[in-house]
Amino acid sequence: MTTAQQLLKKIEDNTEVVGIIGLGYVGLPLAVSFAEAGVKTLGFDKNPAKVEKINHGDNYIQDIRDAVLREVVDKVAFSATTDFSRMAECDALIIAVPTPLDRFKKPDMRYIESACTDIGRYMKPGTFICLESTTYPTTTEDFMLPIIGENIKTNPHFNDISASDSKATPKNIAPRFFLAYSPERVDPGNPSFHTRNTPKVLGAMTPEGLEIGTKLYAKAIDTIHPVSSPRVAEMVKILENTYRLINISLINELALLAGKMDINIWEVIEAAKTKPFGFQAFYPGPGIGGHCIPLDPFYLEHIAKKYNFDLSMIHTAGHINMRMPHYMYIKIATALNRHKKAVNGSTVLFLGVAYKPNINDERESPALEIMEIVAHKGGKVQYHDPHIPTVQTHGQGALTSIPLTAETLGQADVVVLTTNHSAFEVEFIQKHAKMIVDMRNMIKEAGDKVYKL
């Protein structure tokens, strides 16, 4: 029986062990979904606090119900560890680690590199390996495979390969394990779509790997869509997010123009939506947040340069988005100026620092950048967010959410609506605030003291 047949038999018998590397917004919900399906699941994370919380059944991800996490932990279907040598216990290893940008806006691949190094050192023969982190096309084949192949030479489970074996190249080693890519499609706070019912794209380097991955993922996810290769699956993720980036950047730029022309962009969008074909509504805001959309164009630009290809449209869209927080600062400064006040010395209260409504995730949130610009210009920055009690900023250190009361609203020189949380009572805010800059169209009928995007 081949290694592929052995793993397929384990999957059929439900005796496989799945390892999830990285227990954040992507990894933990996926691990819970596997464990709920009765698959023994082992989570790996280098953060001891996360591991301890999981093993005590303490949840820290909003999209997972507390009772569900406790149940799968209590049943010993799911546990977590910081001991990466335990990868040898796993039949499948799924990587869900961060993929940020460095200070030069280049892909920071150190977390994927670290995961691949550990996998090469510790995995057993016949392991299925899949990356879910957002990245650029060719990562699986050209970046992951060589790292795993090099580190497998020191793995005691592969004792037929020596460090000096000239034949132990990544291509020769690849048949000993199964490598794939399946982009995460997590949408935090989405009430309708979650890990199980969001269709999953999967591309593998070999037909055997694709069959293994399809049958494995089918236990945790309802619909699997196989594609011909990892690079196709990688491009799918980039397409999905750059599509949103370009359209949001377009509507943001049109919103700025509409403001100069005294045109209500929100009214324009509502009218355009009446067309029953050929139009999808996107809405303006202070910028694009979250882990994927603001970062993906730079990942695609990185690989496009290697092919001597200029992504002019995506480059422009990315930079429109990057400039939005500065334009929003100008909105705030203009509103204060009209009331004969300067930003310097004024108290500016931001309502919402999460990058989208009703979640506790402030990653890449444009609100944080606007807050930092205001503080740099001498403004006294405060914020309230019912989902995020504290935030870490570059210029001001840690900030704590203040209570949203008539007094705190009244004491602020300007209140800025940066996130449209459903918990915000618009009438209460409008009643007690001296001045409001509404960046989310929360106030439909603006009066003299309300300035809209």
* Residues acting as catalytic residues: 292
Side chain identity, residue 191: P
CA distance 48 to 172: 36
Q: Is the dihedral of CA 57, 58, 59, 60 positive or negative?
A: negative
The single-letter code of the amino acid at 39 is V
Supply the Cα-derived Rg of the chain in whole angstroms. Answer: 24
Q: Beta strand 450-452 with 436-438: parallel, antiparallel or unpaired?
A: parallel
Q: 230-253: b or e for each residue (b if 16 or more CB lie within 10 Å)?
A: bbebbbbbbebbbebbbebbebbb
d(CA 172, CA 149): 9
Place of tokens 């989208």: 356
Distance set, CA 351 to CA 84, 272, 337, 345, 424 (Å): 41, 29, 21, 19, 8
How many angstroms separate the CA atoms of 20 and 296, rounded?
Answer: 23
| Residue 273 to residues 258, 281, 307, 453, Cα–Cα distance (Å) | 17, 6, 39, 19
Cα–Cα dist 162/55, whole Å: 38
Cβ contacts of residue 272 below 8 Å, gap of 6+? Answer: 279, 281
